[in-house]
Chain A
Amino acid sequence: MDKNRKARVIGATVLSGAFVVAALTGCSTTQSETSSGSTEYTLWDPYPDRDASSDWAKAIDACAADIGITIERNAGNTGDTVKDLTTAAAGKLPDIAMVDNPKVSTLADAGLLTTTDDNGLDVSDIQENILTAGQIDGKTYGVPVGANTLGLYYNPEVLDAAGVDIASVTDGASLTAALEKVVAAGKKGITFSAVGTEEGTFQFLPWFWGAGADLTALDSTEATSALTLWTDWVKNGLAPQSVLQNTQGTSWDEFKTGEFAFAENGSWFKADADAAGYMSIQIPGENGQPAPAPTGGEFITIPIQKDTSRYATSVKIVKCLTEGNTGADALGYVAPTAAGQEAQLAADPSLQGWVTAVGDAKPRTADNLGIKYGTISEQLYTAVQNALSGGSSPADALAAAQQAVDAKLG
């Protein structure tokens, strides 16, 4: 007994000692990060799942070696704007920060980011439509490391069994007809994510834009027709009730049961789809042309520093990560430059559909919406939820949404 107790005491002492040491080393590393004039640069990214052995970490290390500096990577910056800003208030902004593209305008508006005028970054080779997410009032606050977007995956086996030709799917009405055929053949129609978060808006936007609607007028007839399309699918059993709660991940799980004919989902599932034998097309718009889908993906930004001489090197890091296709490949994105996309296509020609989709895509904060997008998006996914759940009609739900936006944005 006594021996046990002694052992326990020693164990506890050693453990608490270890904690103290760990805490102290933790402090010392954060302090060295902020010291200016060094060749150590800090980079925040939101990819905690990519460890030091990942392609992404290796791409960063390669850039650091090229430039002759060291890059201290912090992968905990998962895009919590409020947290970013509080940390910023303490005067500890990183040299490079990667932020989800709809958040760039928020951070820029708060005065945290440098423009390309300040830091001298050349953005001429970045694909124009992706870049606009980082542009507010003619100023550019960052560049995309790459982009992903949404498409319409389909299961050829289910379509064949139901006698549906994918070439017949060119707009909302022909897609609904295809879904009806599939359901009549005893399979399930389409799955997507209409969850009450930003993800729900992201998924609804292709149909919304494809109908010709605009985020500045949520209650337009075009918007109503897009929401009616979705609502009728759920009402008529062409889409399951679970779409109201699906994230894009759970929606993909549903699709992978092999029961569904269609799934709206992101280019990030391409490898998984290839393995399962699924194919994809661009989401059809109301005019028979592919609808613009929203772009996803992070922007590389250069936050404001006291020591402005650091920008020159930061620009080199950004250049290194966005030029060519190393950065985009490491993260599973379509490259942001023409040269990068060519290199990606040379390696994998089946990417063509997604490269085209990214070319047709549109950032959520485009049309100079900037920080207004957050408010509009919140009301839009709320309207989608209200209509799909049968709580109110699509027209009423969208009218209420526009009213709420007007009240908030004045």
Chain B
Amino acid sequence: MTAMHTAPRTGAGGNTTAHGGAVPAAGAALPSERDGGRRRQRIRQQLIAWAFIAPVAIYMVLFYAWPLIRNLDLSFRDYSLASFITGEAPFAGFDNYIEVFRSPTFWPALWNTAVFTFGSIIVQFALGLALAVFFYRRFPLSTTLRALFLVPWLLPLLVSASIWAWMLNSDSGVVNAALAVFGIPQVNWLTSPQWSMVGVLIANIWIGIPFNLVILYSGLQNIPSEVYEASALDGANGWQTFWRITFPMLRPVSAITLLLGLIYTLKVFDIIWIMTRGGPGDSSTTFAIWSYRLGFGGGSPDLSPAAAVGNLLILIAFVFGIIYIRTQRRTGDEL
């Protein structure tokens, strides 16, 4: 905050102050000539600065800002197929959002998105952390085993999802065959409304564990070993060491892992689409699936409501991003 107060004192020319140290030393000529030279140099520096920033700026506007604005615009209009021909789409205000909120799919989809997202990241994080701590103690073959845990990450999602769908098949899947050995009757993992969410959750958790494992493992490497030595001298047992040292010192890494996991999981589409297509009914439909179904899935594309659902998704991710930044700031203050 102190830096902000000193800034206005140096005037509006932010650029000149940045290079201020070098310019007076170089300018040994007459005042008027020096002024012209300075101005020319300032313009040149400005242009160079813009030239450097231009590719990124153009890229950002073209590929981030413009699609986002278009998506917002789309959600406030009534865009139909005929709009492609005429180029006209009447302004609809909040009609699309009202339609989305009133849809019988809205509450199930919101609930499913919450269950899918939080269910996935909580279990992924817990298992990822447990494995990271496990692998932190080096033992023979630990590197090989750790590498094996990365396999889900290397597989294309299409492959993982298809194989999970195959394994969870009601009649001929290997999972039900294994359960049958223990006398458990057939579970319709992907074809019953009660189980379909569990089915896709299992697959998504499996896919997400390596990500959590890798980030948390590298976080563990950054905890100084002296702290562990000190706690060992004080006679802390394994459980105490974990809850008093590892977990608190891992907090910044945990926070970013959870945030990235959250944003990633919110928009998961391919796994659910391949395994259940959001069905049966709406039982595994999340916002991402719903948006796609509205826009491209059915017979008549409802592009504007689809855009509205997409924007809600962006809004949710945005809110959690802000929560993250605020908690970061708070922990920063504490330190």
Q: Is the pair A390, B192 in contact by a Cβ cutoff of 8 Å?
A: yes
Q: Which residues of B contact A342 (CB under 8 A)?
A: none
How long is the Cα–Cα vector from A206 to B170 in the complex, in angstroms?
26
How long is the Cα–Cα vector from A242 to B104 in the complex, in angstroms?
27
Q: Does A195 contact B (CB under 8 A)?
A: yes
Q: Is the pair A85, B85 in contact by a Cβ cutoff of 8 Å?
A: yes
Q: Which residues of A contact B84 (CB under 8 A)?
A: 82, 85-86, 88-89, 110
Q: Does B193 contact A (CB under 8 A)?
A: yes
Q: Which of B81, B85, B281, B299 contacts A198 (CB 8 A)?
A: B299
A-contact bits for B102-130, CB 8 A (1 contact / 0 none): 00100000000000000000000000000
Identify which of residues 197-250 in chain A touch chain B, using a CB-to-CB cut-off of 8 Å: 197-198, 240-242, 244-245
Q: Is the pair A375, B85 in contact by a Cβ cutoff of 8 Å?
A: no
Q: Does B185 contact A (CB under 8 A)?
A: no
How long is the Cα–Cα vector from A140 to B85 in the complex, in angstroms?
21
Q: Which of B82, B171, B296, B303 contacts A241 (CB 8 A)?
A: B171
How long is the Cα–Cα vector from A385 to B188 in the complex, in angstroms?
13
Q: Which of A85, A377, A385, A388 contacts B299 (CB 8 A)?
A: A377
Q: Is the pair B283, A391 in contact by a Cβ cutoff of 8 Å?
A: yes
Q: Does B279 contact A (CB under 8 A)?
A: yes
Could you tell me the distance in whole angstroms from the C-beta of A296 to the nearest C-beta in chain B?
15
Q: Is the pair A81, B81 in contact by a Cβ cutoff of 8 Å?
A: yes
Q: Is the pair A391, B85 in contact by a Cβ cutoff of 8 Å?
A: no
Q: Which of A106, A377, A388, A392 contacts B81 (CB 8 A)?
A: A106
Q: Is the pair B85, A382 in contact by a Cβ cutoff of 8 Å?
A: no
Could you tell me the distance in whole angstroms from the C-beta of A301 to the nearest C-beta in chain B?
15
Residue of A nearest to B170 (CB): A241
Q: Using C-beta atoms within 8 Å of the partner chain, give the interface range for chain A.
A: 35 or more
Identify which of residues 83-138 in chain A touch chain B, using a CB-to-CB cut-off of 8 Å: 85-86, 88-89, 102, 106, 109-112
Q: Does B31 contact A (CB under 8 A)?
A: no
- Also in contact, A375 and B281, with CB within 8 A (given A240-B171, A242-B169): no
Q: Does B190 contact A (CB under 8 A)?
A: yes
Q: Does B11 contact A (CB under 8 A)?
A: no
Residue of A nearest to B81 (CB): A110
Q: Is the pair B299, A102 in contact by a Cβ cutoff of 8 Å?
A: yes
Q: Which residues of B contact A197 (CB under 8 A)?
A: 277, 297
- Also in contact, A245 and B165, with CB within 8 A (given A197-B277, A374-B300): yes
How long is the Cα–Cα vector from A60 to B24 in the complex, in angstroms?
78
Q: Is the pair B280, A385 in contact by a Cβ cutoff of 8 Å?
A: yes
Residue of B nearest to A375 (CB): B300
Q: Does A373 contact B (CB under 8 A)?
A: yes
Q: Does B301 contact A (CB under 8 A)?
A: yes
Q: Is the pair A85, B81 in contact by a Cβ cutoff of 8 Å?
A: yes
Q: Is the pair B191, A389 in contact by a Cβ cutoff of 8 Å?
A: yes
Q: Is the pair B85, A88 in contact by a Cβ cutoff of 8 Å?
A: yes
Identify which of residues 78-94 in chain B touch chain A, using a CB-to-CB cut-off of 8 Å: 81-82, 84-85, 87
Identify which of residues 384-407 in chain A touch chain B, using a CB-to-CB cut-off of 8 Å: 385-386, 388-392, 400, 404
- The prevalent SS among residues of A at the interface is helix
Residue of A nearest to B169 (CB): A242
Q: Is the pair B281, A81 in contact by a Cβ cutoff of 8 Å?
A: no
Q: Is the pair B280, A196 in contact by a Cβ cutoff of 8 Å?
A: yes
Q: Does A360 contact B (CB under 8 A)?
A: no
Q: Which of B186, B188, B281 contacts A382 (CB 8 A)?
A: B281
How long is the Cα–Cα vector from A390 to B186 in the complex, in angstroms?
15
Q: Which residues of B contact A85 (CB under 8 A)?
A: 81, 84-85
Q: Does A323 contact B (CB under 8 A)?
A: no
Q: Is the pair B299, A375 in contact by a Cβ cutoff of 8 Å?
A: yes
Residue of B nearest to A111 (CB): B85
Q: Is the pair A241, B188 in contact by a Cβ cutoff of 8 Å?
A: yes
How long is the Cα–Cα vector from A268 to B49 in the complex, in angstroms?
63
Q: Which of B169, B188, B193, B296 contacts A82 (CB 8 A)?
A: B296
Q: Does A169 contact B (CB under 8 A)?
A: no
Identify which of residues 343-389 in chain A touch chain B, using a CB-to-CB cut-off of 8 Å: 371, 373-378, 382, 385-386, 388-389
Identify which of residues 265-284 in chain B touch chain A, using a CB-to-CB cut-off of 8 Å: 276-281, 283
Q: Which of A373, A386, A404 contacts B280 (CB 8 A)?
A: A386
- Also in contact, A196 and B279, with CB within 8 A (given A241-B171, A378-B299): yes
How long is the Cα–Cα vector from A109 to B84 in the complex, in angstroms?
12
Residue of A nearest to B296 (CB): A82
Q: Does B13 contact A (CB under 8 A)?
A: no
How long is the Cα–Cα vector from A112 to B283 in the complex, in angstroms?
38
Q: Which of A244, A371, A382, A404 contacts B191 (CB 8 A)?
A: A244
Residue of B nearest to A257 (CB): B172
Q: Which of B85, B280, B299 contacts A112 (CB 8 A)?
A: B85
Q: Which residues of B contact A404 (CB under 8 A)?
A: 104
Could you tell me the distance in whole angstroms from the C-beta of B158 to the nearest C-beta in chain A?
15
Q: Is the pair B193, A391 in contact by a Cβ cutoff of 8 Å?
A: yes
Q: Does B238 contact A (CB under 8 A)?
A: no
Q: Which residues of A contact B299 (CB under 8 A)?
A: 102, 198, 373-378
Q: Is the pair A374, B193 in contact by a Cβ cutoff of 8 Å?
A: no
How long is the Cα–Cα vector from A390 to B191 in the complex, in angstroms?
9
Could you tell me the distance in whole angstroms from the C-beta of B274 to the nearest C-beta in chain A?
10
Q: Is the pair A389, B280 in contact by a Cβ cutoff of 8 Å?
A: yes
Q: Which residues of B contact A386 (CB under 8 A)?
A: 193, 280-281
Q: Is the pair B85, A371 in contact by a Cβ cutoff of 8 Å?
A: no
Could you tell me the distance in whole angstroms from the C-beta of A249 to the nearest C-beta in chain B?
13
How long is the Cα–Cα vector from A244 to B169 in the complex, in angstroms?
11
Q: Does B298 contact A (CB under 8 A)?
A: yes
B interface residue numbers (CB < 8 A to A): 81-82, 84-85, 87, 104, 165, 169-172, 186, 188, 190-193, 196, 276-281, 283, 296-301, 303
Given A110-B84, A375-B298, output 13 extra A-B contacts at Cβ < 8 Å: A82-B301, A88-B84, A109-B81, A109-B82, A110-B81, A196-B277, A198-B299, A245-B191, A375-B300, A386-B280, A389-B188, A389-B193, A391-B283
> Can you report 16 residue pairs joining A to B where beta carbons are below 8 Å apart?
A88-B84, A89-B84, A109-B81, A111-B82, A196-B278, A197-B277, A198-B299, A240-B170, A241-B169, A242-B171, A244-B279, A374-B299, A376-B299, A378-B297, A378-B300, A391-B283
Ordered nearest first, which 8 A-B pairs have the shortest CB separation? A374-B299, A389-B280, A241-B170, A378-B298, A85-B84, A244-B191, A374-B300, A391-B193
A interface residue numbers (CB < 8 A to B): 81-82, 85-86, 88-89, 102, 106, 109-112, 195-198, 240-242, 244-245, 371, 373-378, 382, 385-386, 388-392, 400, 404, 408
